[in-house]
Amino acid sequence: MKLGTREAMVVSEVLRTNSSIIDHYNLYLNSCQDQQLRSILDRQQRHTMDTFQRLLQMAQSHGIDTNRMPLPTTMTAGMNNQQVTTGTAQYGNQWSTPQQYGVEQQQAFTGQAGMQYGTQYNAGQGTGQQSAMQMQTGMATGTGTMLNDRVIAEGALMFHKFSAETNTTAALESAEPHLRNALTNMSRNCIEMSYEIYNYMSQRGWYQLPATPQNFISHSTTNQQQYPTQ
């Protein structure tokens, strides 16, 4: 494979994933009712937007054609879908830790350690109180039914899990050191963001581990000895 072709392919996938996350977070923010969750989503969306722009700049500086890569609607609105650039890409150590997510820990949740994304992203404080009807069924509108907070949190969690896998695979497939470092740190940040969403859900009893089935068959060495060998 021609040098740079693999990097162009994996970076394209990462940018597409981040673009989708940013756009879906707009939907989530429009439907979210809990103030604490809204604060988390807003902080994570702004972080993802910043990361998207930085990676886009780096790809362009490496000669990767980004003209056909989809941009988030928040970046194309009012710009006739023209490509967006915000400056020269940063290299080396400056990009080895881009906007690190989860550098500091704080007691954001009762009895659990929450993750702080950086001084520029201060978590808002919400009461977390919401009516049972809103939390379970969402709020009806003239155009349909808004997503309820539990569905929103589930979606955000799945996005970050998938994005962490995509970024990790991209880093493993990239031989260019600056791109590899950036993708590695993006994967780590996705892990921290998913952990923040998990803590939020766990506090509300929305993420419970299943109980071990009573008739669960363990294929241990002892059980295997009960079966005849071929």
Written as tens digits, the pLDDT of the chain (230 aa) is 566 888 999 999 999 999 999 999 999 999 999 999 999 999 999 999 999 999 999 999 999 888 888 889 877 654 444 444 333 333 333 344 456 776 543 444 434 433 344 434 443 334 444 443 344 444 444 445 678 999 999 999 999 999 999 999 999 999 999 999 999 999 999 999 999 999 999 999 999 888 878 777 776 655 555 555 55
pLDDT at 135: 41
Cα 40 from Cα 180, distance rounded (Å): 27
Q: What is the amino acid identity at position 223?
A: N
pLDDT at 108: 45
pLDDT at 38: 96
How far does CA 35 lie from the centroid of its chain? 19
pLDDT at 103: 55
pLDDT at 12: 93
- State the CB neighbour count (10 A cutoff) for residue 132: 7
pLDDT at 87: 34
The partner residues of 45 in beta bridges, in order of sequence, read none
The CATH number of the structural domain formed by 5-90+99-124+147-224 is 1.20.1260.10
| 3-state secondary structure string across the chain | CCCCHHHHHHHHHHHHHHHHHHHHHHHHHHHCCCHHHHHHHHHHHHHHHHHHHHHHHHHHHCCCCCCCCCCCHHHHCCCCCCCCCCCCCCCCHHHHCCCCCCCEEEEEECCEEEEECCCCCCCCCCCCCCCHHHHHHCCEECCEECCCHHHHHHHHHHHHHHHHHHHHHHHHHCCCHHHHHHHHHHHHHHHHHHHHHHHHHHHCCCCCCCCCCCCCCCCCHHHHCCCCCC
pLDDT at 76: 67
Q: How many residues does the chain have?
A: 230
